[in-house]
């Protein structure tokens, strides 16, 4: 009896970082203003490629052979770290895509956005595509 094994090729595509956030106005928190990248002289943060951790394809999604997309909103801080991550949209909830995307993106580092030459915190949006193709 011959046993055949199948290999599932997994491709994880980090689609893009979108500078504009869902929030349309700068947001004031207790003691600071979070700006919107690309608006009113605010530059876009630049991903430091060496810090880009690829999200892990969730086991449940792999077993069920499901693709997914997660849209995250976060803040790039003045030191280039990522904070305040939240899921704006996930087209396949309950398969682990959201958790995997957050776990990876919170490790990313950026050259911070600037306004008038000084680093400023900004909102940004990241779209992550998960595909088994």
Q: Which domains does the chain have, with CATH numbers?
A: 14-131 (3.30.2420.10)
At residue 32, the pLDDT reads: 79
Of residues 5, 7, 17, the one with CA closest to residue 62: 7
Considering the entire predicted model, what is its pTM?
Answer: 0.75
| Tens digit of each residue's pLDDT (9 = 90 or more) over 81-119 | 999 999 999 999 999 999 999 999 999 999 999 999 999
What is the helix (H) or strand (E) element at residue 26, kind and residue range?
A: none
Q: What is the DSSP string of 100-122?
A: HHHHHHTT--EEPEEETTEEE-E
Q: Which residues pair with 124 in a beta bridge?
A: 74
What stretches of the chain adopt beta strand conformation (E)?
11-18, 27-28, 33-36, 46-47, 68-76, 82-90, 110-111, 113-115, 118-120, 122-131
């Amino acid at each position: 009896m011959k046993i055949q094994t199948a290999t599932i090729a997994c491709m994880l595509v980090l689609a893009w970082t979108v500078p504009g956030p869902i929030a349309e106005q700068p947001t004031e928190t207790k003691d600071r203003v979070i700006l919107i990248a690309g608006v009113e002289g605010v530059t876009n943060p630049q991903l430091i490629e060496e810090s880009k951790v690829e999200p892990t394809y969730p086991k449940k999604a792999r077993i069920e052979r499901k693709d997914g997309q997660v849209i995250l909103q976060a803040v790039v801080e003045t030191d280039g770290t990522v904070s305040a991550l939240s899921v704006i949209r996930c087209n396949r909830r309950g398969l682990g895509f959201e958790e995997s995307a957050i776990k990876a993106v919170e490790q990313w580092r950026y050259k911070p956005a600037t306004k008038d030459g000084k680093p400023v915190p900004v909102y940004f949006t990241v779209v992550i595509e998960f595909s088994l193709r």
